[in-house]
């Protein structure tokens, strides 16, 4: 009898949202969710001025019957907002956080929860990207540059379609575009695996692809002012966030198209939403990959997300600047842009041939 001696050393850990509740009127289940998670008595609500009116006050009323909750109004997602929220959580000896708002309130809550070692519940009032359920948080650094940090995913997600349908439709369209843009991120990841032998997760790849392809297929039924549309978009958006938790990196959802968006944020900030920029980046990067970029463009059009620079309020110089700078934004991330990136002429051609820029000035 032979004995095989293995030298197996691999190990991995995953953090997923434990409790996901979605649908019409599920905000009413907030206390049940908190109870099922065995939260301690004291909690902190992190919300914003307008999102407090949309959902924060209601949650505050609901949970106050069972828990001691304080409400902290936070501003934009920057490091100062994180330290203020952390201070508020410490002062009320919070054992859990309820993050109620758009992306920024959820982004602020992620590092606060991680640093204090307490769980948080993600309660989005709008969905403009796939971060509602992921372990990544995006911020402005002290220098004003965009940065992403790895924290923990929410312990629970409460996504109430009745609340979400009231948010401006532009946000949901941008959230869908962010997820559709997985299609080029995945091509970049596959390329990095083949050329750089980069670590790869087939399950994360498949989940992120499923999320994006589902939205492409359903793009003609995602329309404004329809709660059913929010419902259709929610599962893929959640799945996209979970794919990052499986991969342990943002690789399945962030490639060259995100680098284009990050370059825009650095060079020409405040023009458009993250997901809108990534959607347009995806059209162009899919063309570079030799893939079906028209399918991406048509899906974005169906949903009502922008497909041209003009719709984002961007001119020729701005788009070309961002395309040329994109490969330098995140040098360690290998993508179709390679190490040298695009020349200005190649960038201009790419934007024009994909209809992002018009041929004539």
- Binding span for Zn ion by CB under 5 A among 114-122, 164-172, 176-184, 186-194: 176-184
CB of 335 to Zn ion, least distance (A): 14
Convert residues 126-155 into a mask of x (bound to Zn ion by CB under 5 A) and - (unbound). Answer: ---x--------------------------
CB of 330 to Zn ion, least distance (A): 13
Nearer to Zn ion, 178 or 276 (CB): 178
Tell me the C-alpha distance between 251 and 229, whole Å.
27
Residues 6+ apart with CB under 8 A from 217: none
Three-class SS state of 123: strand
Tell me the residue nearest to Zn ion as measured from the CB.
Answer: 178
Task: Dig out the tokens for 2 from the structure.
Answer: 């032979």
Farthest CA pair distance, the chain: 78
Nearer to Zn ion, 21 or 280 (CB): 280
Q: What is the CB-side half-sphere exposure of residue 235 using CA atoms within 13 A?
A: 12
Tell me the C-alpha distance between 235 and 241, whole Å.
10
Beta strands at 146-150 and 96-101: parallel, antiparallel or unpaired: unpaired
Binders in 195-214 for Zn ion, by CB under 5 A: none
CB of 201 to Zn ion, least distance (A): 18
Binders in 286-325 for Zn ion, by CB under 5 A: none
Task: Dig out the tokens for 63 from the structure.
Answer: 């949970």
Nearer to Zn ion, 129 or 333 (CB): 129
DSSP string, 176-242: HHHHHTHHHHHHHHHHHHHHH-----HHHHHHHHHHHHHHHHTGGG--TT-HHHHHHHHHHHHHHHH
Residue from 60, 160, 178, 321 binding Zn ion (CB under 5 A): 178
Nearer to Zn ion, 62 or 212 (CB): 212
- Binding span for Zn ion by CB under 5 A among 7-15, 174-182, 302-310, 348-356: 174-182
Nearer to Zn ion, 135 or 178 (CB): 178
CB of 240 to Zn ion, least distance (A): 9
CB of 259 to Zn ion, least distance (A): 11
Three-class SS state of 347: helix
Phi-psi domain of 248 (left: phi exceeds 0; alpha: psi -120 through 50; beta: other): left
CB of 140 to Zn ion, least distance (A): 16
Nearer to Zn ion, 178 or 188 (CB): 178
**Is residue 60 close enough to count as binding Zn ion by CB under 5 A?**
no
What are residue 97's DSSP bridge partners? 44, 120
Residues binding Zn ion (CB under 5 A): 129, 178
């Amino acid at each position: 009898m032979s004995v095989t001696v293995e030298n197996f050393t691999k190990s991995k850990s995953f953090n997923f949202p434990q409790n996901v509740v979605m649908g019409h009127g599920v905000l009413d289940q907030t206390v049940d969710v908190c109870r099922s998670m065995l939260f301690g008595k004291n909690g902190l609500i992190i919300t914003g001025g307008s999102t407090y009116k949309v959902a924060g006050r209601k949650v505050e009323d609901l949970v106050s019957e069972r828990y001691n909750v304080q409400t902290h109004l936070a501003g934009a997602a920057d490091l100062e907002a994180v330290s203020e929220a952390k201070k508020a959580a410490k002062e009320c000896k919070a054992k859990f956080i309820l993050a109620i708002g758009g992306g920024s309130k959820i982004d602020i809550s992620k590092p606060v929860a991680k640093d204090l070692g307490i769980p948080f519940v993600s309660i989005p009032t709008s969905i403009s990207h796939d971060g509602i359920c992921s372990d990544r948080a995006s911020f402005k650094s002290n220098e004003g540059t965009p940065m992403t940090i790895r924290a923990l995913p929410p312990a629970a997600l409460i996504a109430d379609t009745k609340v979400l349908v009231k948010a401006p439709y532009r946000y949901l369209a941008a959230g869908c575009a962010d997820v559709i843009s997985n299609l080029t991120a995945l091509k970049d990841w596959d390329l990095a695996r083949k050329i750089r032998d980069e670590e790869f997760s087939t399950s994360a790849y498949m989940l992120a692809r499923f999320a994006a392809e589902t939205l492409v297929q359903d793009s003609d039924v995602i329309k404004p002012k329809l709660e059913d549309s929010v419902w259709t978009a929610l599962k893929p958006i959640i799945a996209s966030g979970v794919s990052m938790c499986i991969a342990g990196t943002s690789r399945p959802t962030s490639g060259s198209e995100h680098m284009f968006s990050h370059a825009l944020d650095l060079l020409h900030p405040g023009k458009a939403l993250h997901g809108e920029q990534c959607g347009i980046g995806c059209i162009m990067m899919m063309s570079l990959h030799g893939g079906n970029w028209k399918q991406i463009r048509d899906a974005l059009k169906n949903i009502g997300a922008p497909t041209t620079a003009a719709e984002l309020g961007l001119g020729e110089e701005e788009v070309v600047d961002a395309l040329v700078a994109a490969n330098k934004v995140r040098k360690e991330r290998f993508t179709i842009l390679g190490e040298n990136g695009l020349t200005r002429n190649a960038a201009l051609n790419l934007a024009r041939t994909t209809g992002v820029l018009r041929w004539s000035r």
